[in-house]
Chain A
Amino acid sequence: MQDIRTRYPGYDILKEQKEWDPHTREIVLKRLGPFPKPKFLQENEVQMLKIIANHLVFDNRSQIMDWIIHHIDQSLTSNIGEGQRAPKAPPAKDLIRWGLQAIDKVATIKYKAVFLGLDEKQQFGILAALQNGKAEDVPEWAKVPQKELFKKLAAEIVSAYYSHPTVWSEIGYGGPAYPRGYVRVERWLTDPWEAKRDAKQ
């Protein structure tokens, strides 16, 4: 079966933007770029995070990856707290910076190449090990709990990805709904503007 990216090929959420309140519209349109140069992340970190994001969200479209990087850079530059953190984990900035260094170290020990030099399968293997706290033992992990690193990467990358209007269109999400709201909320009913499976492109 052909692997289609969307059940809703005829749906483009951005066509609805005139119906959104100005504050929301401004926020959503900014996600399309262009984005300023990262303030915290260095070039190598940007490239590594993009590859990690490709694996986590199973997508590699550069426009969406650029937004994800911008989002991560913004949250690491901001002084706003991170809600919660394990006492054994360093603050997000260090967790990610040191974590990426540790990932490179693991790659070097295991495959004699940096993470970006590995093939997809090898990269995937390292991320999967990280999720279970079972990546190759390197001294860097003493400062960076593996599972906490994975959770932070997953939270930042996945929340940014599913906040991109292109992805909203693809999954048929209604998106911003003020001031319009919904008239037809019950089963089998949709408002005329919502995503329809059988709509023509």
Chain B
Amino acid sequence: MQNNNDYVTHNCDHFDGHRYSHLNNRKYEDEADICIVGTGAAGGVLAYELSKAGFKVVAIEAGPFWNPQTDFASDELVAQSLAWQDTRLSTGENPLTFGHNNSGRGVGGGTVHFTGVFLRFHESDFKTKTLDGVGEDWPITYQDLEPYYNKIERDIAVSGPKHFPWGNFHGPYPYPERVPISANAQVFREGCEKLGIPSVVAPLAIISAPFDGRPPCINRGFCNQGCMPNSKFSTLVHHIPKAIDNGAEVLSDCMVTRINVDKQGKASGVTFVHDNKEYRQNAKLVILAAFAVETPRLLLHSACPQFPDGLANSSGLVGKYMMPHTGHDMYAKFDQEVRLYKGTPVLATSQEFYETDKSRGFARGYTLHAHGSRPVEMAQGLAKSAGIWGKDLYEIMRDYNYYGRITQVGEVLPDINNNLSLGQEIDEYGMPKPVVSFSYGENDRKLIDHGVKKANEILQAAGGKPAFTVPDTAHLLGGARMGKDPTQFVVNEFCRSHDISNLYICDASVFVTSGGGNPTETIMAIAARTAEHIVEQANTQQY
């Protein structure tokens, strides 16, 4: 039997000013128009937009409905509970780290603990095959997403520079860029300037002035541990409360274990578990927005006689082409204190190495961020991933305040062998644990080497002595990629599954390529576009 493993005991049913600690008064118990699985970056936007359009929306979340004031803390160790900690089996030559690295648990999902970096994809990201002969082309272009990028940035008042030098969008952002920036960001920008590398104050989903009842950032620096002043956007503090105001119902601490299909082969709703008990939520339309691991896992686990290989899987590509970003951390020691704990972790950025430059010997590129770090993250990274412990670790950490850090967020090319499958071990919900296999390809390794070298040059130009590199990754994308051909792709350009007309998949899983920067804004723009499409479709046809 499954256990409720949450630290916090919370209400599980939320709608119209009601919060219940049981499921006996459900608003849409008979049937909802739309059931959304997951309330993260994509699920939050979908719940908000679709409830605003008048649909009866139920959003189901595996984790708790957090209260930032009482559940969050200024502490790295305790904040691990914000991450998806259920054990995922991780294999391949470069096994991925999950949890805090890429996935959240609880209303808001990963947006609760992301750094707030808010970047658009570039035009080239959507056609890497045509331009560079690598990866795959998307069925949509930058221009298709542009209005939704604009909308999302306005909706949450993204702060950023007046001029952003790379990609298609050059600013200005809705809110002014953050001032002041941290010492680590200053060091980064100074190093860049000496080398003639343009850099900017990072575009952030963190407000630089009051907005929507939320106060501007106080530079507490714990973005990855959950923002307590609510200055950083998350769907927990922005989209979900508004969706509830619009009439949506949110079920939290409810783990969806199956997508149900009727005799006609259409999705009829989902089965979920709350406090050891199984429930159903029927709906005319189901949208999976549960992250690049849980979404393909649910599709595969929902196999039934009509769909023996899992739902939406006639292509056999559910769980295939999974991509993290490279996330190597480069540390350098300075003569003066940098104090990596202070201020928003990412306050300066360069995308100078984002686009393909054939002279570098690899395709695609990456973003470099000045990236703060806290003692647990730094020491654990050194001990676990860089093999530094004992006296060496102690001596480095004694000078913790003297280190600066740059992180690479680099493109990883899609590879069919980087995949998710269902394992032999069964979890507490009776579902097979997911097995994710990941190995870097040759292009990825060259891209990493280039980024490590560049970051060290920047740190050196700023007066630092490059000290060590901690290999890491961030984010996870793919597993249900979008495209026109049903034999090669899982969903169409509007995130509707090719096989089941009332089943949508709308989250990081639909990414065709990873891009060379943080993906949250693109996930949200895709969700906004999908929501608009569903509204239009509903006017012309019955789901």
Contacts and interface: CB of A to CB of B under 8 A. Distances in A.
Which of A71, A179, A182, A197 has the most B CB atoms < 10 Å from its CB? A182
A158 B91 CA distance: 24
B181 A57 contact: no
A22 B401 CA distance: 26
B487 interface: no
B439 interface: no
Nearest to A170: B398
A83 interface: yes
B435 interface: yes
B152 interface: no
A86 B93 CA distance: 11
A63 interface: no
Contacts, number: 195
A21 B78 CA distance: 14
Contacts of A131: 387, 389
A171 B74 contact: no
Contacts of B75: 24, 27-28, 163, 176
B88 interface: yes
Contacts of A168: 375
Nearest to B375: A162
A27 B78 contact: yes
B241 interface: no
Interface string A146-178: 000001001100111111000110111111111
Contacts of B389: 55-57, 131, 154, 158
A187 B336 contact: yes
B222 A6 contact: no
Contacts of A5: 398
A46 B95 CA distance: 30
A112 to B, nearest CB: 25
Interface stretch (B113-121, B204-212, B376-384, B508-516): B376-384
Interface string B448-482: 00000000000000000000000000000000000
Nearest to A20: B74
Interface in A5-53: 5-7, 20-21, 23-24, 27-28
Contact of A161 (B70, B182, B338, B379): B379
A171 B73 contact: no
A28 B338 CA distance: 25
A155 B74 contact: no
Interface in A93-150: 124, 131
A187 B341 contact: no
B521 to A, nearest CB: 25
B342 interface: yes
Given A158-B379, A158-B383, A186-B180, A27 B400 contact: no
B297 to A, nearest CB: 14
A171 B219 CA distance: 20
Nearest to A87: B89
B540 to A, nearest CB: 44
Which of B74, B221, B401 has the most A CB atoms < 10 Å from its CB? B74
Contacts of A181: 218-220, 229
Contacts of A154: 380, 383-384, 389
Which of B73, B86, B400 has the most A CB atoms < 10 Å from its CB? B73
A177 B221 contact: yes
B150 interface: no
Given A83-B99, A84-B97, A85-B89, A178 B74 contact: yes
Interface residues of A, number: 62
Given A83-B97, A154-B384, A158-B389, A175 B74 contact: yes
B87 A174 contact: no
A186 B182 contact: yes
A91 B87 contact: yes
Given A7-B398, A158-B379, A84 B89 contact: yes
B399 interface: yes
B397 interface: yes
B180 A81 contact: no
A201 to B, nearest CB: 17
B90 interface: yes
Given A79-B3, A87-B89, A155 B384 contact: yes
B275 to A, nearest CB: 14
B393 A158 contact: yes
A86 B95 contact: yes
B393 A58 contact: yes
A167 B89 contact: no
Contact of B74 (A21, A58, A78, A86): A21
A78 B81 CA distance: 12
B390 A80 contact: no
A190 B183 CA distance: 11
Nearest to B391: A58
B182 to A, nearest CB: 5
Contact of B181 (A151, A162, A185): A185
Interface string B85-112: 1111111000111111000000000000
A186 B95 contact: no
A168 B374 CA distance: 10
Given A151-B384, A154-B384, A186-B182, A162 B219 contact: no
Given A91-B87, A187-B186, 10 more contacts: A27-B75, A56-B393, A78-B5, A79-B428, A84-B96, A85-B87, A163-B376, A173-B400, A175-B74, A185-B342
Interface of A: 5-7, 20-21, 23-24, 27-28, 55-59, 71, 78-87, 91, 124, 131, 151, 154-155, 158-163, 167-168, 170-183, 185-190, 194-195, 197
9 contacts: A7-B398, A81-B88, A82-B85, A131-B387, A160-B77, A162-B378, A182-B219, A188-B183, A197-B337
5 shortest interchain CB distances as A-B pairs: A181-B218, A83-B99, A176-B74, A58-B394, A81-B87
